[in-house]
Structure 1
């Protein structure tokens, strides 16, 4: 089974991907780990396109995978090979709450993370609102060639219902 999950920050991508990975014994890949160069000494350094493409191709060679993230415009191969493409339709009040909760948990050391500030929290909330308003419509248009396997979902139960119905 090959699954691609899209959504803005705080929409539940990672949580849902982890649950599906556990439930169906499938490896889960976070696109942030492909897009960003975590080995760089500088925060926000992008992986080279060559390395990013190689990492993605290595994932796509697997028989089963779950890929999740906010990115879309360089992922045609992932979308074409996916059995399911899920777009999360989480309400703003929910993703705002999750982003703020995650920030607090990281500040108190409950969750591991990069160093975050109130400014980075504010920037992320603004970015996520713009992503939902402007990027999601672009993503829907971008995914038009794959519309037969694109599903708009609110939660894990919606995804399980679709997967179980398809079997």
Structure 2
């Protein structure tokens, strides 16, 4: 693979974790889910980690020679966008993303294997946020990352991502 530092961004249910896992398995790059940095995993509720903890954990990842970072966040990630060889934006249809969010929620509820206690209110909030992601957060991401525009590639499938990282 041509690139060793990849940052994958996209709305909830866009396939970020799936793509990161597949790339990691295929090319042996370590992968990191930004939810593990953003949320304090010592609580069952959704409580944000401190800015200091987020910064420290992100710097620890970025200090490595190779990584895949995936997550929906952007505002506190300027350094990771600068350090990335390629920034992949997953652009999947909203309806597909919503279906995946629903499927994940019910999967968590049925298996009870998720460390957070997902509530119906969490689901509704996520789906509302996901519905407006493309016209709100994604637009702000592009404005925020103008300096890195030459690294950004938009993909809608794993095969497109694979072509982009091997080009």
Fold-level similarity (TM above 0.5)? yes
Give CA deviations for 1:96-155 in whole Å, capped at 9, x if unaligned: 110111111111107534222222211110011122220100101111101111001101
* CA distance in structure 1 between the aligned counterparts of 2:53 and 2:112, rounded to whole angstroms: 32
Moved more, 124-133 or 55-64: 124-133
Q: TM-score, normalised by structure 1?
A: 0.93
Structure 2 matches for 1:127-142, cutoff 5 A? 127-142=129-144
Q: Aligned in 2, Cα 1:39/1:110: closer, same or farther, shift over 3 Å?
A: closer
Q: What does residue 116 of structure 2 align with?
A: 114
* CA distance in structure 2 between the aligned counterparts of 1:62 and 1:69, rounded to whole angstroms: 18
* CA distance in structure 1 between the aligned counterparts of 2:5 and 2:65, rounded to whole angstroms: 7
Q: What does residue 88 of structure 1 align with?
A: 90
- Number of aligned residues: 164
Q: TM-score, normalised by structure 2?
A: 0.93
Aligned Cα RMSD in Å?
1.3
2:60 to 47, 55, 58: 58
CA-CA distance at 1:40 after TM superposition: 3.5
1:2 to 2, 5, 8: 5
> Is the CA contact 2:37–2:57 (under 8 Å) kept in the aligned structure 1?
yes
Give CA deviations for 1:60-107 in whole Å, capped at 9, x if unaligned: 011000001111111111001100101110101110110111111111
* CA distance in structure 2 between the aligned counterparts of 1:100 and 1:113, rounded to whole angstroms: 17
Q: Structure 1 residue 79 and structure 2 residue 81: aligned?
A: yes
Q: What does residue 32 of structure 2 align with?
A: 29
1:154 to 148, 153, 156: 156
Q: What does residue 123 of structure 1 align with?
A: 125
- SS of equivalent to 2:103: helix
* CA distance in structure 1 between the aligned counterparts of 2:105 and 2:36, rounded to whole angstroms: 19
Q: Which runs of 5+ in 1 are unaligned?
A: none
* CA distance in structure 2 between the aligned counterparts of 1:15 and 1:99, rounded to whole angstroms: 13
- SS of equivalent to 2:49: coil
* CA distance in structure 1 between the aligned counterparts of 2:112 and 2:51, rounded to whole angstroms: 34
> Is the CA contact 1:21–1:66 (under 8 Å) kept in the aligned structure 2?
yes
